[in-house]
Chains A and B, each alone.
Chain A
Amino acid sequence: MTDSDLDRLEHRISRVLKTGVALSCATLSVGLVLWLFDVPGHEWLLRAGLVILIGIPVSRIVASFLDSVRRGDRLLAWSTAIVLTTMAITLLYTITA
Chain B
Amino acid sequence: MIARMIAAALWTLVAGTVAGAFGVLLGIGGGVFLVPFLNLVLDLPMHGAAGVSLVTVIATSSVASASLPRLQLVNLRLGMLLEVFTTTGGLLGVFLVNQVDDRSLRLAFGTVMALTAVVMLARLRRRNVLHRDTDPGTLGGRFYDPETGDHVTYRLVRMPVAFLASFVAGVVSMLGIGGGVLKVPALNAWCGVPMRVAAATSSLMIGATAVVGAVNYFVRGQVDAHLAAAAVIGVLVGARAGRALGERTNVRGLKVLMAGVLLFVSALYFYRAMR
Within 8 Å by CB of A25, from B76, B216, B223, B236, lies B236
Residues of B within 8 A of A95 (CB): 219
Q: Are B211 and A54 in contact (CB under 8 A)?
A: yes
Q: Does A89 sit within 8 A of B, measured CB to CB? A: yes
Whether A53 touches B59, Cβ cut-off 8 Å, given contacts A28-B229, A38-B2, is yes
Distance (Å) between the CB of A56 and the closest chain B CB?
Answer: 5
CB-nearest residue of chain B to A3: B142
The contact string, 1 if C-beta is below 8 Å from chain B, for chain A 42-71, is: 010011011101101110110010000000
Residues of A within 8 A of B88 (CB): 82, 86
Residues of B within 8 A of A43 (CB): 225
Within 8 A of A (CB), among B43-87: 55, 58-59, 61-63, 65-68, 71-72, 74, 76-77, 80-81, 83-84, 87
Whether A50 touches B91, Cβ cut-off 8 Å, given contacts A14-B71, A32-B229, is no
Q: Are B72 and A10 in contact (CB under 8 A)?
A: yes
Distance (Å) between the CB of A24 and the closest chain B CB?
Answer: 8
Q: Does B15 sit within 8 A of A, measured CB to CB? A: no
Interface core residue of B58, B63, B138, B236 (most chain A CB under 10 Å) = B58
- A46-B225, A53-B62 known; 14 new pairs, CB 8 Å cut-off, are A14-B67, A18-B66, A21-B62, A24-B59, A25-B59, A53-B58, A75-B77, A75-B81, A75-B138, A76-B77, A79-B81, A82-B88, A83-B208, A86-B87
Residues of chain A having any CB pair with chain B under 8 Å: 1, 6, 9-11, 13-14, 17-18, 20-21, 24-25, 28-29, 31-32, 35-36, 38, 43, 46-47, 49-51, 53-54, 56-58, 60-61, 64, 75-76, 79-80, 82-83, 86-87, 89-91, 93-95, 97
Residues of chain B having any CB pair with chain A under 8 Å: 2, 6, 9, 55, 58-59, 61-63, 65-68, 71-72, 74, 76-77, 80-81, 83-84, 87-88, 90-91, 94-95, 98, 138, 207-208, 210-212, 214-216, 218-220, 223, 225-226, 228-230, 232-233, 236
> What 9 A-B pairs are tightest by C-beta distance, nearest first?
A17-B66, A46-B225, A57-B207, A28-B229, A86-B87, A94-B219, A57-B208, A79-B80, A18-B66
Q: List 23 A-B contacts (CB under 8 A).
A: A1-B76, A10-B72, A10-B76, A14-B65, A14-B67, A14-B71, A21-B66, A31-B225, A32-B229, A32-B233, A46-B226, A53-B55, A53-B58, A54-B58, A56-B58, A57-B207, A60-B208, A82-B87, A83-B83, A86-B87, A90-B90, A91-B215, A94-B216
